[in-house]
Amino acid sequence: MYRYDTHDQTLVNERVAQFRDQMNRYLAGRISDEEFLPLRVQNGLYVQRYAPMLRIAIPYGMLASYQLRKLGDLARDFDRGYGHFTTRTNLQLNWPKLETVPDMLAELASVQMHAIQTSGNDIRNTSTDQFAGIAEDEEVDPRPWCELIRQWSTFHPEFTYLPRKFKIAVTGAAEDRAAIQVHDVGLRLWRDDQGEVRVKVLAGGGLGRTPMIGEVVRDDLPWQHLLTYLEALVRVYNQFGRRDNKFKARIKILVKALGVEEFRRRVDAEWAHLKDGPQTLTREAVEAMHSHFVDPERRAVSEESIADFERLRVENRAFARFVTNNVHGHKVPGYKAVTLSLKRSGHSPGDLTWEQMHQVADLADEFSHGEIRVTHEQNLVLADVAVDRLEELWQRLQELGLANPTVGTLADLICCPGGDYCALANAKSIPVAQAIQERFEDIDYLYDLGPLDLNISGCMNACGHHHVGHIGILGVDKKGEEWYQISLGGAQGNESSLGKILGPSFDRESVPEVIDKVLQVYVGERAEGETFIETYRRIGLKPFKERVYA
């Protein structure tokens, strides 16, 4: 993991002191609400429906065990004992007291964490593949490049007040697990015939009110020019992005309005002033960043231990289910990555108590070199588990309620906080998620359905990524009442697509029944071995619509 140097730590400490002074002046009435708004949002502080909310940055989803313990401490000491992991791999605390936030930020700084630029019209937390550095299909480890982007974008003087928020995602694997096609900028790292890193740059993707798939702006950017090209791209957006209408202010609107060819021309014209300038990356700078992301000292796992693991999978059905769904391949023989499910009936997806945070940190120390990953599906990952300890880890996770063997199934749904917390939401999300979890508890049925992404958002901001769910649910307001719009056919990954609206919306009580009817069509129409999204793409929306609205 990246560790702060003296400059990093000083910068974060100074920001804490600055915000403490701003908070004191605000509480004393010397700063108005309007003046305080841009100050607080750039430090991750929102005012939600019922209380303040602090959004804490988890850069590219990586946590050390001591950092997760600190997050648990904050949830226990300053909040209501739990936190919520978001689809941007951040952690939200939904009930802090306003006057305690500077103290919380100081606690975060003590473990090299912060809440800087987790809100506001600036460059947000860069995200990546949760299996970065260990994935079997990885061509380039994206983590050093994510850290370079983080350092470039944090406190960037030109990009403090962009037309709207700006999100970057990076992948270096054959399978896109970072959803780069639906980000303001998506970066795909690859190697040419000489083994040099090149970058495929996409721009203009995004969800929200006007969802779009990103366009390829450049296919083969040399790695030395990554930051200068990003600088040129964001400059073009900063200059030409709309500021008269916040609903049309994202870069996707600009790319669509100009057309990708004209957008590319303007970026290239701006880049001409920056190319080969001071921000051009050197091999020494990149190697220095790579030095922070070295492999841990893994002990060798014997062939006999690997054979014992495979034999146990055959003999223990419950363990086999967990391995099939929650355990993932690893570049090192004898090791696996393990997903800890934060989805279980009766609990909000993505929530974790302070006790569980401490317990997961202990497991990370014991089983995975003290490291935890956060996924944009709102789960956690232990990335380096020896197969001869998987059964023991599984048993421990069962005791904590984090071994639900349903990762990638309908039960592994994504859900934003919705109207239970968010002032922007049109409807509640969590009760809908819980009702669906209760309706579809039969694990054999979930396995029979196969891979299925169900995503729920409480409003058009799409924090639950409903547009790219195989089944998407969007909360809408009808004359002051909460209704829910269903979409089908969305997908993330290499073949990203945006869902199509099924038809008129439904009241909350009807949603589980509607989902059941959609699944009945899939089960009745699928070919052998066909997944939900494959069936949908073959038969289209009409059969689902006819069944649901019959």
**In Å, what is the CA distance from 260 to each residue of 207, 307, 518?**
18, 53, 37
Residues 6+ apart with CB under 8 A from 33: none
In this predicted structure, what is the pLDDT of residue 423?
85
The residues near 455 (Cβ < 8 Å, ≥ 6 apart) are 413, 414, 415, 464, 465, 466, 467, 468, 469, 471, 472, 473, 490
Instruction: Inform me whether the pLDDT recorded for 49 exceeds 90.
Output: no
Please check whether residue 156 is in contact with residue 114, taking contact to mean a CB–CB distance below 8 angstroms. no
Report the pLDDT value the prediction gives residue 347, as an integer from 0 to 100: 87
Q: Are 100 and 19 in contact (CB under 8 A)?
A: no
Structure tokens at 210: 């006007």
Q: Tell me the pLDDT band of 180, cut-offs 50, 70 and 90.
A: very high
Contact 479, 487 (CB under 8 A): no
Say which amino acid occupies 471: I
Helix or strand run (H / E) with residue 21: helix 6-27
The CA distance from 410 to 470, in Å, is 10
**Residue 378: DSSP 8-state:** S
Q: In this model, does residue 245 exceed pLDDT 90?
A: yes
Pull the structure tokens for residue 196: 């040099």
SS3 sequence of 479-548: CCEEEEEEEECCECCCCCECCEECCCCEEHHHHHHHHHHHHHHHHHHCCCCCCHHHHHHHHCCHHHHHHH
Is residue 258 within 8 Å of 266, Cβ to Cβ?
A: yes
Q: What is the 3-state secondary structure (H, E, C) of 332-358?
A: CCCEEEEEECCCCCCCCCCEEEHHHHH
Please write down the long-range contacts of 364-367, taking CB distance under 8 Å and 24 or more positions apart: 364/65, 364/68, 365/65, 367/392, 367/393
What one-letter code names the amino acid at 63?
L
pTM of the predicted model, to two decimals? Answer: 0.97
- Give the burial string for 280-312 (b: 16+ CB within 10 Å, else e): ebeeeebeebeeebeeeeeeebeeeebeebeeb
Is the pLDDT score of 345 beyond 90? no
Q: Residue 345: what residue type?
A: S
Q: Identify the band that residue 175 occupies on the pLDDT scale cut at 50, 70 and 90.
A: very high
Whole-number average pLDDT of the chain: 97
Strand order in the sheet with 371-374: 62-64, 371-374, 380-386, 335-340, 327-328
Residue partners of 529: CB distance under 8 A and separation at least 6: none
User: For 98-157, what is each residue's pLDDT tens digit?
Assistant: 999 999 999 999 999 999 999 999 999 999 999 999 999 999 999 999 999 999 999 999
What pLDDT, on the 0 to 100 scale, is given for residue 507? 97
Q: Residues 6 or more apart from 318 whose CB is under 8 A from it?
A: 405
pLDDT digits (tens, 9 = 90+) for 424-470: 899 999 999 999 999 999 999 999 999 999 999 999 999 999 999 99
**Each residue's pLDDT tens digit, 463-506:** 999 999 999 999 999 988 999 999 999 999 999 999 999 999 99
Q: How far apart are CA 229 and CA 270, in angstroms?
A: 9
Q: Residues 484, 477: contact at Cβ < 8 Å?
A: no
Two tokens, residue 318: 């419950």
Q: Is pLDDT above 90 for 406?
A: yes
pLDDT of amino acid 430: 95
Percent of the chain with pLDDT over 90: 98
CB atoms within 10 A of CB 107: 18
Give the length of the chain.
550
Residue 524 sits at the vertex; the CA angle it makes with 518 and 526, to the nearest 5 degrees, is 95
Give CA–CA dist 172/288, Å, rounded: 19
Query: Which tokens sit at 97?
Result: 């007291």
What is 121-156 written as a DSSP string? SSB---EE-TTTTT-TTBSS--HHHHHHHHHHHTT-
- What is the mean predicted confidence (pLDDT) over 358-386? 98
Separation of alpha carbons 418 and 474, rounded Å: 10
**In 3-state terms, what secondary structure has residue 171?**
strand
pLDDT computed for residue 274 by the predictor: 98
Q: Is the dihedral of CA 220, 225, 227, 233 positive or negative?
A: negative
Secondary structure letter of residue 86 according to DSSP = -
Q: What is the distance between the alpha carbons of residues 45 and 39, in angstroms, rounded to a whole number?
A: 9
CB 37, CB 22: distance < 8 Å = no
Q: Which residue has the tokens 């009442």?
A: 481
Whether pLDDT at 22 is above 90: yes
Using the structure block, give the residue that is written with the tokens 């100074």.
14
Average pLDDT over residues 352-361: 98
The Cα–Cα gap between 374 and 300 comes to 26
Residues whose CB falls within 8 Å of the CB of residue 326, separated by 6 or more in sequence, listed in order: 338, 339, 340, 341, 403, 405, 407
